[in-house]
Amino acid sequence: MLSIIRNIVFLFASLTFISCEKEVFVGPAIETLYGTLNVLEPFSNNKPVGVDFSVNDTVKFECLFSITNDYQIDIIGRNSGAKFTTNGSNIDLSDSYWLGNSEGIFFKKSEWCDITLSFTGNDTLISDSILILGERDFSDLGILLTSFEDPSEYSIVTSSNNDLFEVNNSNSTIEGDNSLNTLGTGSAAWFGAVRFSFNSNTITETDPNNIFFNGFFNSQYLGSAFVIKVFEDENANGIYDSGIDEAYALKVGLTTNSQWNKYSSSFGSFVIDQSGNNVLIDGVLNPQNIIRIDITNSQSGTANGQFGYIADYFLISYNQPL
Amino acid sequence: MRLLLLTISIFTTYLTYGQFPKFHVGGLARSLSTSAHLDKEDTINNDISQDFNIVFDLAIKGELNKHVNLYSELRLGSNLEVFDTSSSYLNLRRLLIFGDLNDYISFEIGDIDLKMTPFTLWNSNEEGEVNENSIFSNYRDIQRYENFNNDNHWRRQGMTVFGNKSVSKNDTISYKFFGTREFASNGISNPDIYIFGGDVNYDFKNFYSGINYIDLFSNNKGISLDTNFHNHVVSSKSALKIKNLEFSSEFGLSKLSNSSTILNNKWIDGEFVSLGFKANFSKNLFISLNYRSVSDDFSSPGAQTKRINYSRSPNLFPQVSNSLNNREVSLNEIITDINFIRSQSFYNRTIDYSLDKFNPIFGVSEPYGLATPNRRGFSSKIQFNDTSKTIYLYGKCAVLSDLIGEGVDQKRKYLSFSVASDVYINKILNFNKTILLKSGYHYSNSKRKHSPEIFVDDVDFNNSILDIGIEMEAIKNFYLIFGYKSINASGIDYLSVRNDDFIISSFDKLQLDINQKISSFGLKYNFNKKSSLLLNYQEMKFSNNLLDSNFKINQFFILVQIRF
């Protein structure tokens, strides 16, 4: 009896010392909760002599932290005031890059940008800078209607109510050297338009909800607005026939803060235009049938006053706004 | 002859039933007057607390017949702070029906006391005591009495059936089964919670073996909750005595389960193993050695539930330092913050699923006793009494480590030890009057060194408790008593935060540098062996060096106790 018990105890004791073991620790990694943030490798980027976004350069950031941390990189153009922000959570910046895009107005060519790296819940702030050698070409996002550098891309339709509707050279542009400058006086609904004409099937995206008009406007006149109007060629005769083809429009009120603001509107929000001789045919906006786009200088209501804006860089983008 | 037999029969029947009912009466009367003063620097909070309670407990044990007995404790109490006797109350403190159905089956129904093993069902002692003298133990005994902490038993409401039977001349099979109700459903969202358990043991000469089982489970019948929980714990225990040596072992597992259709972890299984060795080298010297390994997911509510509910605030001055700091239940409160109203006591009387909060100032080595999850290592005890009973020595130490890293691959290492002594100085000096010096010291630490690559502060947490006191009999039955307690806790550790399913979901960083000192002086007069009067003044100083927070509480007690 004793020998049996002895053997059992021995076997049991042997098992005891190896039992209950697990290979990996339990709970979340403690350094993610209580590690001290230290910057182990300095903050830098891979374009020390400048980045040329016009040839599709990409800025990659480098920095190594002691722990995984939530971080934010802010880039601000010193001249344009353009901003770009990217966030992440990692032990380094291998997930972060910059393609030259911005949250509002564009970064400028030959512009120095300040870059700051900050961390959630930590006062650490690290700075760097970068020179933009060339601006990014966003036309690959869809159709660049114009940046007002090439007069062949647009035409201007004036109204008896517009005091000013012209493209001119300016220091304050979004892209290039030119911008559209408009001003109208009175109580009319529109004060001139800039027109873009092209063949049907130029817009290849079929779902209006996935097509966005993007444009930059700068206005100081209270009540100013622009109307974007698209014209279909439903009978495929190459021209818009009022009363036969359909037109769709959207009026957008402008923020009159005398600063550049970006506006993006989905074609899916456009409504049938039945002003003048325009009629409702099928009530369906078919993007492939669009052969003309007009951007007017307008006003939000019917007040008597001065309305206008400076505008630049009109782009049709697919799937997401600029 | 028939008449004679009839007469004997009737006489015997009357004689038998004439013994019942029998009644035994006992009781206790206690009067406690307390007056506490917070230091004058605190100008916002109420800085004076006075209370005067008197309770009279009458215990009645009645033998209703030879199978059924009744035991009840009635309490008549009153708060005499303003001598408003209309606020007196009458409570039934305990009601127990018990008896023996036959030689092998006994039962108890009502307020029953239950205990199995330190891994299955065990009411571990509250912290903060090493070898305190009577000026503190007087109050600690009252706390235990008021909160039904009898030894390591849990006082539950339910029934138990137990008994034993010998199969052969040298062996005995004993058993116990019980069922209790822990929580009553509110009929809407909270389910009924029950405990069912039992043990079966076999004794054969010097060998002992047994199986323990306990299940804490919910019953959601009639309420909107669609999930039932079970926490099973089963263990096997055995022991073998060879002369003065005893070898013992216990191993078992826990299964925490739920019937939910949406929770991912339906089963959490844990295990433990414990091996023990005891030796009585003589009548005066006792040594034990134990090895145990408890997995991180070993869930045993019956053994891991804390006696103190540390999530509650103390009754005495819950806010201090002009309301800047909320006080936690600490050393002084455990001993002297006595509340006679059950709902206001921070002593825990329920067994529930999740691991209870604990106060780390008492150490982080074994907050849940032997059943503390994720511990492995050795512990040892030694006890010595000299034959003249002049000196008593006690020592205990434990060298443990995490079984598995928590939040990091490295495992904590724990070291704890306690030493205690009673010295009857009067016997050394040949005095007639008692002069008893009691002392005790406990130290524990936890350490874990982290890789420099993770930039996390190392674990290094230390805790110490000092108990020292002297009791001098100045004249016959009149004692001067001085007691001093000190607790220090400092360092850094990361305490695991567990979900309801026992999984560690996070860690709370613990950073402390706390010191608490209690100096107490008292005069005690023993009317007889069962009755005494104690006048006691004590000062408690608390300082939190990290928060630069200090406060002081002065307390005065008058305690009269009469047992009969």
What is residue A2's predicted lDDT score, i.e. its pLDDT? 53
C-alpha B82/C-alpha B72 separation (Å) is 30
Please give the domain boundaries of chain A with CATH numbers for all domains: 31-134 (2.60.40.1930), 138-318 (2.60.120.430)
What is residue A82's predicted lDDT score, i.e. its pLDDT? 87
**Integer angstrom CA distances of residue A300 from A31, A158, A223, B507:** 56, 19, 5, 57
Average pLDDT over residues A287-311: 92
The residues facing A226 across adjacent strands are A252, A297
Residues of chain B with a CB closer than 8 angstroms to some CB in chain A: 207, 240, 247, 249, 251, 271-273, 275, 291, 293-296, 374, 376, 403-409, 450, 453-457, 494, 496, 504-507, 509
Q: Which residues of chain A have a CB within 8 Å of the CB of B403? A: 20-22
pLDDT at residue B178 above 50? Answer: yes
What is the CATH classification number for the domain harbouring B60? 2.40.170
Q: Do A33 and B407 count as a contact with CB atoms less than 8 A apart?
A: yes
Q: For Cα atoms A170, A189, A172, give the angle at the middle one, nearest 5 degrees.
A: 10
Would B17 be classed as within a structural domain? no
Nearest to A310 by CA among A170, A209, A187, A210: A170
Q: Do B407 and A25 count as a contact with CB atoms less than 8 A apart?
A: yes
Nearest to A252 by CA among A288, A283, A215: A215
pLDDT at residue B4 above 60? Answer: no
Q: What does the pLDDT look like over A168-222, one tens digit per residue? A: 888 778 888 899 999 999 888 889 999 999 998 899 999 999 999 999 999 999 9
The residue of chain B nearest to residue A30, with distances taken between CA atoms, is B407
The residue of chain A nearest to residue B497, with distances taken between CA atoms, is A27
Would B7 be classed as within a structural domain? no
Average pLDDT over residues B126-140: 91
Would B285 be classed as within a structural domain? yes
B269, B292, B293, B297: best mutation site toward chain A, by most A Cβ within 10 Å?
B293
* 3-state SS track over A89-102: EEEECCCCEECCCC
Domain count, chain B: 1
Q: Give the number of A-B residue pairs with CB atoms closer than 8 Å.
A: 98
Q: Which residues of chain A have a CB within 8 Å of the CB of B371? A: none
Average pLDDT over residues B536-550: 91
End-to-end CA distance of chain A: 85
What is residue B29's predicted lDDT score, i.e. its pLDDT? 94
Q: What does the pLDDT look like over A52-95, one tens digit per residue? A: 998 989 999 999 988 888 899 999 999 888 899 999 988 899 99
The helix (run of H) or strand (run of E) holding residue B141 is helix B134-146
Would B1 be classed as within a structural domain? no
More confident residue, B340 or B9: B340
Question: Considering chain B, what is the average pLDDT of its residues?
Answer: 89
C-alpha A50/C-alpha A312 separation (Å) is 26
Number of residues that this document lists for chain A: 322
Average pLDDT over residues A247-276: 92
The residue of chain B nearest to residue A29, with distances taken between CA atoms, is B407
Average pLDDT over residues A155-159: 88
Residue type, A18: I
Would B483 be classed as within a structural domain? yes
pLDDT band for position B344 (cuts 50, 70, 90):
confident
Torsion angle, CA of B353/B354/B355/B356, rounded to 10 degrees?
-90
Look up the domain containing B162 and give its range.
23-563
Would B3 be classed as within a structural domain? no
C-alpha B294/C-alpha B367 separation (Å) is 13
Nearest to A35 among B271, B291, B454 (CB): B454
More confident residue, A29 or B84: A29
What is residue A5's predicted lDDT score, i.e. its pLDDT? 55
Token readout for B123 is 């009411």
Would B9 be classed as within a structural domain? no
